Amino acid sequence: MTQITGHTRFGGLLGSPVAHSLSPAMHNFSFEVLGIDAVYLAFDVGQEKLGQTVRVFRDLNTYGFNLTMPVKKKVMEYLDDISEAAQLIGAVNTVVNENGKLVGHNTDGVGYVACVRAHGFEPKGSEVTMFGAGGAACAAAVQLALEGAKALHLVSRRSRSWDAARDLADRISRRTSCAADLTDLEDTGSLRELIGKSSLLVNATSVGMAPHEDQSLIRDLSMLHPGLIVSDVIYNPRTTKLMRQAREAGLKSIGGLGMLLYQGAEAFRLWTGQQMPVEQVKEKFFT
């Protein structure tokens, strides 16, 4: 059990709701393992109190904090500097307090790439097909582009998310060396062609999330070709229908828990300058 001292620094998670978050357990366990005199708490904060809370975190010399919905975009108004990735994504999930200067980062994309890399996927020079244009899709897509992906094929329905997906593809193409494009989910011929050229297929939508475990955006298993790696950002259930389809086709599949773990590890590194004991955290909280 962490002992609070007169030197203990604190940080935490801001957003609403936050009571369900695994982050306090992950970070406090890591502080204890490494002997760091710090604690991580969860604070239920909505947009109306965010500015006031951020000022308190700055003034009390915290090490920093995480953000979750619905304040990952709003917090950018109160920061002194924002990383390139967070600017491209348009959201911040981690803030580092550098002696009163608040610097915003987005570790979701770093966490995603670390997760797929741990399973043998290397972004540099690759082509990727990705379903979705929400927060998880933005973070993963931007980081894949920043780490050298050659082409990123975004796939979305022609609905409210279409404009967001088009904007994301445009931002990536203009501001990175990755060529990004957008395809209608219902255009099955183009979808088959794009997946056929890709070495990674990503579901970054909520399709397949509990309680709708019987859903998948892949309706024809023949689209899944040998050598393709299939990744789902969903972690409830741990094995989605898309992942089962991949395994039935003899392909490697990756679930969403790793993204959660590695994004936390990157935030921990930014705050402490030390590596989170990832294997111990994984064994304690993710098995």
**Sign of the alpha-carbon torsion through 202, 204, 210, 214:** negative
DSSP 61-76: T--EEEE-TTSTTGGG
How many Å is the maximal CA-CA distance in the chain? 64
Computed on alpha carbons and rounded to an integer, the radius of gyration of the chain in Å comes to 19
DSSP state of 223: G
Residues 6 or more apart whose CB falls under 8 angstroms from that of 31 comprise 2, 37, 38, 39, 40
**E strands present in 20-150:** 38-44, 64-67, 81-82, 94-98, 101-105, 127-131
- Tell me 189's DSSP state: H
Collapsing DSSP to helix, strand or coil, 3 comes out as coil
Assess whether 72 carries a catalytic annotation. Answer: yes
- Please state, in angstroms and as integers, the Cα–Cα distance from residue 222 to each residue in 186, 193, 208, following that order: 16, 12, 19
Residue of 72, 73, 74, 150 marked catalytic: 72
Catalytic residues: 72
